[in-house]
Amino acid sequence: MDLSFTDAERGFRDEVRTFLKEKLPARLSDKVRRGHRLAKEDYEEWHAILHARGWLAGNWPKEFGGCGWTAVERHIFEEETTNACAPRIVPFGIMMLGPVLQQFGSKAQQDHFLPRILNGKDWWCQGYSEPGAGSDLASLKTAAVRDGDHYVVNGQKTWTTLGQHADWIFCLVRTDPKAKPQEGISFLLIDMKSPGVTIRPIELLDGEAEVNEVFFDDVRVPAENLVGEENKGWTYAKYLLTHERTNIAGVGFARAGLAALKRIAEQERANGKKLIENPLFAARIAAVEIDLMAMATTNLRVLAAAKAGEAPGVESSMLKIKGTQIRQEINDLARRAVGPYAMPFVSEALDAGSNVESVGPDYAAPLTMQYLNNRKLSIYGGSNEIQRTIIAKTLLQT
């Protein structure tokens, strides 16, 4: 298995770097670098820049308006944009719903929704988790009852990331309450402006309403918004989650976080010496760096297999587990590195241009927020405990 990059792939990396140098607004990269909050308009601005270059949907085939990139090219693009401190691509339309519609959606759904995802007319959110159905997603209760040419939806979704900005939500709903749990679920597209849809923000410790509760009270949804077949939604959900779990590995994010951690450790001092020179702290940095190098190599092996035409399977669960553990360890070490400066937390200090002064150095301000927020990494996309069960069932069944 050849894990080295070809001349064409190295040329593509240079092309991406040139594009980022010329087109990435310094205002946006500065926000990302400083850990400041990004507004919806910031994400939309970056999406529009990428769309104008034809680089927004690297995971889509060209026939649907995507780049048609190989798995290796997507890896290079994600690595370089992370290194340049570009805003992330909001994943719900591009990374999650898009591939599902391309694989299972009707021609009418593809023709209507896919261009609107690319040009930014529709902002999507995900309606999977419920108060009693998180990792055990098959136990969801939100019901959709067929009534003529519509479904009538009642229920609740929670932890709906960026749902306050969304125009549409793709939902898992129960359409056959008598069937086995996984067999009675359908995949439905719901307009967030429909009568009966209520959004209630959940304010997090950083003062931001990143996640939301979404309530459905007799919401009428056209039957044409059903994706694929009724009661086959579990199949489509598993397909979507495979894409989500692979992205959660976050090799690029981990590398950027490790580089920032090393810079902090070079500036912080303990007992008159740089923290990077403290044997115990340096050993912890070395340990997480070794883990990251091993995970990056594993990721390249998966990419090489994908380039050879093999579909990723249990590897996505492995990368999800290890990737989230590494990122959380980096967050923890960065928070420890600044000591007492990680304790005070002023929410407004994370807003660009705020006149609220942070306690301690500028780089310390976002560390507590990042640490607390990224505790979720090992939960969403299917908790790490669930991923271990998937791995055990897949590899131990013979």
**HSE-CB for 205 with a 13 A CA cutoff:** 14
C-alpha 92, offset from chain centre: 8
**Which contacts (CB < 8 Å, 24+ apart) does range 56-64 have?**
56/89, 56/94, 56/118, 57/94, 57/98, 57/117, 57/118, 59/94, 59/95, 59/98, 59/99, 59/243, 60/94, 60/98, 60/99, 60/102, 60/114, 61/102, 64/98, 64/102, 64/110, 64/114
3-state secondary structure 307-339: HCCCCCCCHHHHHHHHHHHHHHHHHHHHHHHCH
List, in sequence order, every beta strand (DSSP E) within the chain: 124-127, 143-147, 150-157, 168-174, 185-191, 197-202, 211-222, 226-227, 269-270, 273-274
Active-site option among 80, 130, 210, 244: 244
Report the alpha-carbon distance of residue 55 to residue 48 in Å, rounded: 10
244 in catalytic set: yes
Q: Which amino acid type is present at position 253?
A: F
Report the alpha-carbon distance of residue 294 to residue 55 in Å, rounded: 29
Catalogue the active-site residues. 244
